[in-house]
Structure formats: C-alpha cells, structure tokens
Structure 1
Amino acid sequence: MKRLCSLFATALAAVLLTSTNADAVVPGTALQEHVDERIARLGGVQIARNAIRLDSGATLVVAEPGQLLSEQDCPGYNFCLFPRTDFQGPDMYALQACSTYSVSYSGPGSWVNNQSTGIRAKMLNASRQVIYTTPGAYSKDASGDWTPVYYVKNC
C-alpha cells in the first residue's frame, strides 16, 4: 500500500509539473506542427515551446496558430523583424547578439529596434552594401519593404 501511494504521488507530481510548464513541448499540437515546419524549412533547434534558435544565431518566435505576434512581443535588447506591416506576423525574427543576419522575408513588413538606447541597425542589399540605417533605439517602422533587404546588421 505504501508503495502504491508513493507511485500515485509521483505520477500526480509529474502531471502537475507538466501541466504548469508553459515552455513544455507538446508533440502533435498545432503550434508544434508550425514549429516543426519552420525547423524543416529553415534549420535550427527548438529552444522553447514557440521559439527556434536558427543556425545564424537569430531566434525565430512562432505565434500560436490563428494568432499574430505584435510589437509587444519584441524582447528587450533585440532588433525584431516582422513579415507584415504594423508589427504583425505569424512569426518574428528576434536578433540579439551583435552580428549580420540573413533575412528571408520579402515584400511589405515592419521592424522594431528595441536594443539598448541609441543602437542603430543597418539593412544591407545582396552585395552587403548598406541601404538603410535605422534611427537609434528605441525606434520602429510600421511599413517597410523587405524585398531589397538581404541582411540585417543589428549593431
């Protein structure tokens, strides 16, 4: 009986811990399917329930199915790229480490410079020439065009 109670308590603790872990990976869910699709297409490693660390070092944040990310989802000390105007999209690149990142978006989009005060990001064309430099952080643009942008140097 003592062993049965111990097994029950262990099982109950496991269920409670799993159900309260917001970052738990849940195979077979719609969100996990979206994350898996992006990993298959872009590479990288899942680092949270809705985030992928890409080989470039960028973090790709994925929205819950049927929802969009917004400006408020851009973490502090990051330069964030959105595939749609008005800081929205089914995913968002969050660039934190100072580096030059490849951009896979094309067409209308937006960005938020939420890095340390005064830090400016540069957008580069296919030849890695600067085509735009953002104002210092905090700054943002709700309506831009990712088509000529192949790379972003976030610092």
Structure 2
Amino acid sequence: MRRVIAIAAAAITLAGCSSFSSSDSFSYFRSAPPTVQVQLESTPPGADARTSLGPGCKTPCRVSVTPPEGSTSFLVNYSMPGVQPASVPVQVIKESGGMFSADTFRVSPNPVMAELRPPPPPPKPEHKPMRPRRPKPAAAATAPAATGSAFPDPGQGAPPQR
C-alpha cells in the first residue's frame, strides 16, 4: 500500500511539473507588451497618417503603438489628396529600468512631423529648336557690271560728267 501511495504522489508531482515547464505557463510572469504614445502632425493638417505597425488617424492626432519584439523602428506614412505622400522613420528606444523597475520605451521623434508638398508641375514637352531663317538670296543683276559698259551700274551712282 505504501508503494501505491508513493507512486501516486510521485505521479501528481511530476504531472504538476510537466504542466509548469511548458513555455505557455511562463507567460503569466511576463509583463504585457509595452505601448507607446505617438503624436502625429502634418503641414497642412488633415492628412491621413498610418504607422507601419497598423494604427492610423487624421492629423493632428495621437496613436498608441506596440512595437514588435526585437524591432527598434517603424515608419509613419502620410497621404493627402493633391500633395506628395511622405514617410517619416521613427525609432523606438528602450531604456532599462533596473532591478526593481520595469523597462521604459520612448519614441524619437515625438511628435512625428511631416511637411506635405504639392506635386511638381508636369514636365513641359520638349520643342525642337527653331532654325534661323535663311536670308533670301539677293536679286542678281541683269547685266554683268563690266568696265566701260554702256549701262551705268545702279549701285555706283551717276556717271561722271565730262
């Protein structure tokens, strides 16, 4: 009978240890993932801002994000009709809390600011350079200007009087 009781006690003890040793049971001792508040702003206001982690809003606004495990950065993408979209990288900085306090997280920059600019004007079509006009050829004289000709050259003026 003692053997049966010893085996039953050992089985209960080992059964308790096996359920405690699974990695899921240690999650009770872990703290919840940290969330950080991020202020999103834009010039002009009213742009749609969305983080690469999911949350988004219309600027100016504030969102709570949970940085993924092992990630130190994320992007905030801004868009608005009539302006060029913009992306701003954001760093998540972990500061150790020490032995008796929890780690803290902060984001840089905070507030996250983007200046949205109008799109550039469309490129103008290239025109071929115009060729300069060729001068019209001068009218050729009807008779060659020969020395001692009977007809005076119209470009020389009147013939000398004798």
Q: What TM-score range do you get, normalising by the shorter chain?
A: under 0.3
TM-score, reference length from structure 1: 0.27
Q: What TM-score comes out, normalization by structure 2 length? A: 0.27
More helix by share: 1
